Amino acid sequence: MSQLALVIDLNVCVGCHACVTSCKEWNTSGTAGYLADMNPFSKDPTGTFFNRVQTFEVGNFPNTETVHFPKSCLHCEDPPCVPVCPTGASYKREADGIVLVDYDKCIGCKYCSWACPYGVRELDEHQKVMKKCTLCVDRIYDESLPENERKPACVMACPTNARLFGDVNDPDSEAAQAIRERGGYQLMPEWGTRPANHYLPRRKTRITIHEDELIRADNPLYKERQLPMPDADDPTLDETTSW
Amino acid sequence: MHPAFSVIFLTTLIGAGQGLFLALYTGQLYSVFKVLPVQDSADFYALGSLIAVLLLLAGLFSSFFHLGHPERAWRSAACWRTSWLSREVLTLPTFMGAVAVYGLIHYLGWNPVLYSFRDTFDIDLSLVIGAGASLLGFTLFLCTGMIYACIKQLQEWATPLTVVNYTLLGSASGFLLATAFAAWQGSELTEFFGGWAILMTVIAFITRTASLIRNARIKYKTSLETAIGIRHARIEQKSQGFMCGSFNTREYFHGAPQHIFRLIKWSFLVLVFPIPLLLVSIGLSANALGLLIAAFLVQYLGLLLERWFFFAQANHPQNLYYQTVG
Ligand code: SF4
Ligand code: SF4
Ligand code: SF4
């Protein structure tokens, strides 16, 4: 069975928030109604978002690293938000593993948001129903879009290609390959939610060079002194010719 | 978590209602076995049931304020197979109905004896209905407690003590109310109810303290390391990604300063346990109705604070993602 998901590459995310704004733009324009913003132009504005980019600092100065960390619903394979829902409004699709909320059934009790360990569900203050990332279910199957645009809005917007989209259960998909080959991992494995979204870690390319790799300490002929040793102040043969 | 007044009133009101009914039924059960004198059907059982139903109705009413779409509340009966919230939504009205029927039978006197055991113990209709209603009452305590206890990552709640405390605190408050009610009715059951109320308050004190001690020693399974998946002892959030509030910053933080938080804890410990115990003991020995009513009211006030603290103390792992505005 397929399980669509995002794979987010922390190694190249630059924290530009393009995925945040494109997600908001796409999802606030959809048929399911807008993502409400309350007090947008006055004190304490607040709004519904499906995706956020946060920033963390890892390590002690001067050995610190800044990590930009995008966070949206992880479309868990064992989603704790689904069984707790009293109305069945929260559900996981059999066919592609997307976790969705039926806005016409949701009573706004917020219980699913308590059960999700990741804090990715938000109650829409205007519509009074629970909302969350839909994996752009209204884009990815839309045949009126050109085929290369049938991807989530956030994936399309990312300038560094830090967001990969695909079926993580299909071993040949770009997403599954990235997880396999580039150390993809899941958030909070301790709660057994088996998130479908994975993160690719930061990487550093380092090579280790030892001192004896810089001087020819292991030249066997030199070592065994089979050839006449030149005087100390004579030019060595190494400098003029080679053995 | 952010304590919602709707849920605080819901759980405390229905707890008292459930406890009151359980008290009435226990009284009736004892009288069948001739341990206690029989009470007047209409004045005692019917009126008592009416009070219990009113408490349950008030709780139900307050729960609607928690919902974004109360007009769709009927939909929440759908998923009783998986959801404790759905189970509670089904059990509450069923229990309420059973208590109402129990009261009505007593009021109208439609209480035929179904079975007579050795011509001494009469099993009548109300006893059978009451047994079913008691079962529903306990199921309701179980459902209410499990709503919270089943969420694994809210580690303060994920313990059997949560169910135990909901049951004992609700019962204690209901039996206290029954004590005052019986005293008002001039019933001989006052001391019987009072004794049970004292016993349950004492046991609830032990179990609630046990959960406080447990929660003070919790080792959280989630840290920033597992939350963002980077293994390093020092990770600090520099930005949560937005400046003003969001659902995430409102729903999961209680927002009270540390000294208020602590004050509420000590206030509920004093108001729920020692003061009502003192009042009910004096009230029983002096046969003072006022003190018995005060005992119930003081404990109810304490239970409101207890429930506030119950919610505020639970620490959701998502809070790790919302530590710094930026
Ligand atoms: S991330 Fe949260 S909301 Fe999304 S599927 Fe998992 S538990 Fe549900
Ligand atoms: S997949 Fe769509 S809904 Fe989900 S975060 Fe990306 S843009 Fe937003
Ligand atoms: S658009 Fe891409 S690079 Fe920018 S914050 Fe989003 S994921 Fe990171």
pLDDT digits (tens, 9 = 90+) for B164-218: 999 999 999 999 999 999 999 988 999 999 999 999 999 999 999 999 999 999 9
Q: A242 pLDDT band (50/70/90 cuts)? A: very low
Question: B199: part of which helix (H) or strand (E)?
Answer: helix B190-216
Q: Which two tokens stand for residue B60?
A: 């139900």
Cis amide prior to A195 (ω within 30 degrees): no
Per-residue model confidence (pLDDT) at position A218: 59
Smallest CA-to-CA distance from B281 within B270, B292, B265 is with B292
Tally the residues of chain B.
326
Sort A11 into a burial class: Cβ within 10 Å, 0-12 / 13-18 / 19+: middle
- Please report which confidence band the pLDDT of residue B119 belongs to, taking 50, 70 and 90 as the band edges: confident
Torsion (CA) A212, A213, A215, A218 in degrees, nearest 10: 70
Residue A218: φ, ψ to 5°: -110, 20
**A146-197 pLDDT, tens per residue?**
999 999 999 999 999 999 999 999 999 999 999 999 999 999 999 999 999 9
Cα–Cα dist A145/A116, whole Å: 33
Distance from CA of B101 to the nearest CA of A (A): 27
pLDDT at B246: 96
Burial class (CB in 10 A: 0-12, 13-18, 19+), B212: middle
At A70, which helix (H) or strand (E)? strand A65-72
What's the A159 CA to ligand 3 centre distance in angstroms? 7
Residue with structure tokens 């929660």?
B215
* Closest residue on chain B to A188 (Cα): B226
> Which ligand has its closest atom nearest to the C-alpha of A158?
3
Distance from CA of A78 to the nearest CA of B (A): 13
Per the listing, tokens 């020995």 go with B285
The percent helix, strand, coil of chain B (3-state, each to 5) is: 70, 5, 25
ipTM of the prediction: 0.94
DSSP state of B2: P
pTM recorded for the entire structure: 0.91
Mean pLDDT of chain B: 96
Q: Give the mutation target among A8, A17, A19 for probing the ligand 3 site: most ligand atoms within 8 A of CB.
A: A19
Give the pair of three-digit tokens for residue B121. Answer: 């113990």
Largest CA distance in chain A: 94
